[in-house]
Amino acid sequence: MQASTRKPKRALRLVILTAIGAALLSWAYSSRVSADEAADAMRKAAAAQAARTPWSLAAMETWQKPSADELKERLSDLQYRVTQEEGTERPFQNTYWDHKEAGIYVDIISAEPLFSSLHKFKSGTGWPSFYRPLVETALAEHDDQKLGYLRTELRSRYADSHLGHVFDDGPEPTGLRYCINSAALRFVPLERLVVEGYGDFAQAFRDAGLEVPEVQRATALLAGGCFWGMEDLIREIPGVLDTEVGYSGGTLADPSYKDLSNGGSGHAEALQIVFDPGQLSYAELLDWFFRIHDPTSQDRQGNDRGRQYRSAIFVLDAEQRQTAERVKKEWDASGRWQAPIVTEISDAGAFWPAEGYHQDYLEKNPGGYTCHFLREFED
């Protein structure tokens, strides 16, 4: 569909259809959801991301949609109802209806780009509204008469997610209103466009007078006890671009969590961190590291005991080794920790990603176990 092929109708139609639609939706949709579910959905949004590697169109050509069981595991109830069962979230009780930050909106399952904040407008309907899609070919249209009158349903091209509907009562220049469920979307802020593989869309924001920061990428590999708590805190550090939990420091190839629990693999629960050295230096990252776990505890963090829970810095090159040794020495001499620091510094070997259920664990299970917290020290 080309946006220019439709003609706008009178404003009265917007008022009438919005009123009728809102009334019918209040009883017709058994899949309607509460504000609590909406909050839960957005809390799990990052976990629903299709992949942790940057998005690319080439990768989408061979991408396969997860099974229903996998989607139920990865998505919140709200996200699943909306995208897979054509549900509708409540107006004015969803995350993006009044969202004004610059960036793009992608499919919650496949991460395919759908809409831009540059095309978003305030429709007064209580749902996110856009006057055009980011990519015309990203959307598929279907006739929908579930409410007793003809509407045009919108679905994403690759994930086939139910997104919402398009109406011909929007503003110029298209006269269209793409009325979308927040639960079907994930927002990518302007500063992460390049990092997440959406750099092709950055120029439009530059043309609009907005600054798109250039991003550098560097990698660190750290171990500090249970990787759930490590990841949950480190991902929030400004300058951290991506995190992945896994296993490193041992000899067993492609280990499982069970292998570490049984002992003998030599691996530690580790966290691979991708960060922007322009925002966060390696030394600053290590300063955070020494604050969020106990580096004086030998092969133990909290209630977790064993070599897999050791404190370790796996360095990727000579410069990282030099920095790690300097920062460790500074922390040891500072007296912030009362006992000697036992953090091991060794050359990084292979990093083996952990099982999927371990990734973003505390984001998906906010009440889950953790023994990590950020210490405040007096310098």
311: nearest Cα among 336, 337, 345 = 345
Largest Cα–Cα distance of the chain, in whole Å?
Answer: 75
Residue 208, both tokens: 């609009």
Give the alpha-carbon dihedral of 63, 69, 70, 71, to 10 degrees.
80
Q: What are phi and psi of 303, to 5 degrees?
A: -85, -5
DSSP helix/strand/coil, 95: coil
226 as an active site residue: the answer is yes
Catalytic site residue from 179, 188, 260, 313: 179
> What are the percentages of helix, strand and coil residues in the chain, rounded to 5?
35, 20, 45
Catalytic site residue from 154, 226, 230, 315: 226
Amino acid at 54: P
Q: Is 363 exposed, middle or buried (0-12, 13-18, 19+ CB in 10 A)?
A: middle
Strands 311-315 and 344-347 come out as: parallel
Q: List beta partners, residue 143.
A: 152
Residues known to be catalytic? 179, 226
